[in-house]
Amino acid sequence: MEYHKRLNKLYQNNYLPYLFNRLVAEGKQITLKKSLIPPVIHSIWFTHDDKPIELPEKYIRYATGSAKACSPKEGYQHILWVKSKKRLPQTVLRLLDSAIEIKKIGELKSSPLYSLIKKEIKHKRFGRASDIARVAIIEKYGGIYRDTDYRIYQSLTPLLLSYSFFAAREPMSSFICNAFFAAAPHHPLIQDFVRLIQRNYDPATVPTYIKNIPNEDGFATILITGPGAFTTVVAQSIGYHSGRDVILPSGYIFPTLLDAYPQKEVVREQDPVPPFSFGVHFWDSSWTTLSNFGSKG
């Protein structure tokens, strides 16, 4: 109850229409140069070394569509993080003339999580590796993390000018979803997330409720590095640091066909996007798909 009261208070104090309208009323220039969160949108694609799978066409479509909504002309940068460009020649070719830059995760070597990223890629747990990498990336560089099956439909500038951290709850559960979130560089909450992941991998500190779940169980990923871990960090950390942090209503980030909770009927690509939604998550769960993508968690 204390946690939910804290979330409600943060949302009331940091109500998006009020914050943004105040900027407009004060006559301040609406420019990304003054954003609290860098206008950099990160995505990740990990695959096998021996049998690499190129980024699917629809994910390229979501990436380029997101780049249109958040244009480089407005000041946005779009980055796709991979282990090796050589293993993804078609992906590199398809994105050559786009606004999306491809970077290698070797640039994260200074992160305390880098060894865990490499370990999970080696074990073909690409979902878990991606979970860890997104935390390392946002902690170091700041910006927005966007899952490859997420498409942005309108400019994120109101959010970046208003908050130093934002995320939203999944529409079908009480988890805070890590498929789309944003933070300033070195944000205390994201630094807490780094420490939590380290705790979950340390045999001396990992909680029993995680230790007892077999690695083959997809729910282990959710609790060790995914939405379960993210929710734990938010519950422990949000509201206790300086900065303007908020958990937004699901509909802003993860819209559904009906404005109700809980809701499993999510928006599909052919469905209309609610006018108040910044983007849509299509919930492909490629990280759990052993047959199509070869991921083991």
Q: 43-96 pLDDT, tens per residue? A: 999 998 888 999 999 999 999 999 999 999 999 999 999 999 999 999 999 999
Q: What's the topology of domain 2-293?
A: Spore Coat Polysaccharide Biosynthesis Protein SpsA; Chain A (3.90.550)
Q: Where are the domains of the chain?
A: 2-293
Assess contact for 197 and 155: CB atoms under 8 A. Answer: no
Q: What is the pLDDT of residues 253-264, one digit of tens each?
A: 999 887 767 777
Mean pLDDT score across all residues of the chain: 92
- Which pLDDT score is estimated for 277? 95
pLDDT in tens, 184-198: 999 999 999 999 999
pLDDT at 287 over 80: no
- The percent of residues in the chain predicted with pLDDT above 90, rounded, is 75
Q: Does the pLDDT of residue 290 top 60, yes or no?
A: no
pLDDT greater than 90 at residue 33: no
Give dist(CA 192, CA 65) in Å, integer.
Answer: 32
| Dist. CA 19–CA 59, nearest whole Å | 33
List alpha helices for the chain, DSSP H: 2-13, 16-25, 57-69, 89-94, 114-122, 126-141, 157-162, 188-201, 208-211, 218-224, 227-237, 250-253, 290-293
Torsion on CA atoms 137, 142, 148, 154, rounded to nearest 10 = 180
